[in-house]
Structure 1
């Protein structure tokens, strides 16, 4: 029998988080479109940004893929394709640890850059500091969960606790008992993730919902060529766009090859 706390945490709180994420994103888009930005600071410093930003972004994408595989794909599916539980945990541990460390190192570089670069630090808001703090504690909790689940064999298998609970949320039948049986480290990690997602629409992280994926499918941009042609008896034409004719210009060319400018009356 699940306790009241378990019902509130694992049966009610997930839907509160979903409402905040969806409602907050809609509110932000409707009332703060000009603030829907990463507030890029590349102009102030780019050397550390070129290293830290790709590490963080590609690392967080790998972490996301790992969570999707671990939470959405049931154990019966991997058993059906012949992947043993031991092999699954080896793959999950190696790829998850690599992705988590890469994400953490990238985030550490971004925080160091923001603290040590004067103009970047001056542009850092309290909202940004809160966002970085929540990202750090969530990542640390995730890495700690991975390490604990490997060395502490008494921790229940998350594929039999956290994963069924996560899938049950989306069919509106939350399996509170499954999550209540999970290890403490998993529960702490999930609660930190809940807090991060609730803050997501109100921070610069919201730009992830408008990633420019359409750039991969947009048509080619056609440019006009610039031919190096010469006029008879003159120097080569300077590179540039072709001149656009006007009535005054065409009239001047017909009169002698150049346009005339008439002096405006002085009014005297």
Structure 2
């Protein structure tokens, strides 16, 4: 068990994070043309895409900041600024739970759309399905940890265990023993998240780093209607 615990909570995270960093560098240098989301909107536009994409993207942004607040920010910081334990847990359950619901509904709509619309399914790659399924699993396990464990009176405090352990990973001084006694639901969520980091560079998720800031000062594209018959006659005269 000593080796397994050390591998899961010390070696495995660094393996996946190394693949995450090196994989992005490799992908950017070898496949810049494929560095995009491969939008399927032009194949099939429906409500599942509209609502699924909107709910998923907004939900995942809220979930990200929730993880930053709960994992990267030390517990003592909240005590300094006057946020009590009950108040923090109220926010984690209701705000975090709400963000979780939004994200779960969004990713399920996207998965159903990609699986049931024949035209999209035939134009999807294996990695498209893998990343959607793994994303759904990570989101669902995180949601059940928040709602199914914390909200029902679970005594495990991830800010005393998962938070210090993860910050230790980033600072190259992790204490893997902090994760040994964590509830199995939290362990599964964390391990599947690191697995997602490992496959990230080789999927459509890389488009997250391509923030289209140039759109802010890009000139408008003007479209004008033309009579096809007149345009064809004009082309004949010019030729």
TM range (shorter): 0.7 to 0.9
User: Is the partner of 1:166 in helix, strand or coil?
Assistant: helix
Could you tell me how far apart the structure 2 residues matched to 1:35 and 1:107 are? 23
- Contact 1:165-1:174 at 8 Å conserved across structures: yes
Partner of 1:27: 26
- Contact 2:71-2:162 at 8 Å conserved across structures: yes
TM superposition shift of 1:222:
8.0
Partner of 2:193: 193
- Segment drifting more, 84-93 vs 140-149: 140-149
- Contact 2:111-2:133 at 8 Å conserved across structures: no
Partner of 1:5: 4
Partner of 1:89: 89
Partner of 1:253: none
> Cα 1:22–1:37, aligned 2, differ >3 Å: closer, same or farther?
same
Q: Deviations over 1:158-179 (max 9, x none)?
A: 0100001011111110011212
TM superposition shift of 1:214:
4.6
Q: Max radius of gyration: which structure?
A: 1
Q: Deviations over 1:120-144 (max 9, x none)?
A: 1211121111111101111111111
- Contact 1:55-1:103 at 8 Å conserved across structures: yes
Partner of 2:204: 204
Could you tell me how far apart the structure 1 residues matched to 2:152 and 2:44 are? 41
TM superposition shift of 1:220:
6.5
Partner of 2:176: 176
Taking structure 2 as the reference length, what is the TM-score of the superposition?
Answer: 0.86
- Contact 2:17-2:194 at 8 Å conserved across structures: no
- Contact 1:24-1:201 at 8 Å conserved across structures: yes
Q: Does 1:151 align with 2:152?
A: yes
Could you tell me how far apart the structure 1 residues matched to 2:220 and 2:46 are? 32
User: Is the partner of 2:182 in helix, strand or coil?
Assistant: coil
- Greater per-residue helix proportion: 2
User: Is the partner of 2:174 in helix, strand or coil?
Assistant: coil
Q: Does 1:219 align with 2:226?
A: no
Q: 5+ unaligned residues in a row in structure 1: which ranges?
A: 225-268
Could you tell me how far apart the structure 2 residues matched to 1:223 and 1:130 are? 37
Taking structure 1 as the reference length, what is the TM-score of the superposition?
Answer: 0.77
Could you tell me how far apart the structure 2 residues matched to 1:185 and 1:6 are? 16
How many aligned positions are there? 221
Q: 5+ unaligned residues in a row in structure 2: which ranges?
A: 223-239
Partner of 2:135: 135
Partner of 1:100: 100
Could you tell me how far apart the structure 2 residues matched to 1:37 and 1:111 are? 19
> Relative contact order, CA 8 A, sep 6+: which one is greater?
2
Q: Does 1:119 align with 2:119?
A: yes
Partner of 1:55: 55
Could you tell me how far apart the structure 2 residues matched to 1:59 and 1:208 are? 14
TM superposition shift of 1:183:
1.9
Q: Deviations over 1:204-242 (max 9, x none)?
A: 111112122454xx4364899xxxxxxxxxxxxxxxxxx
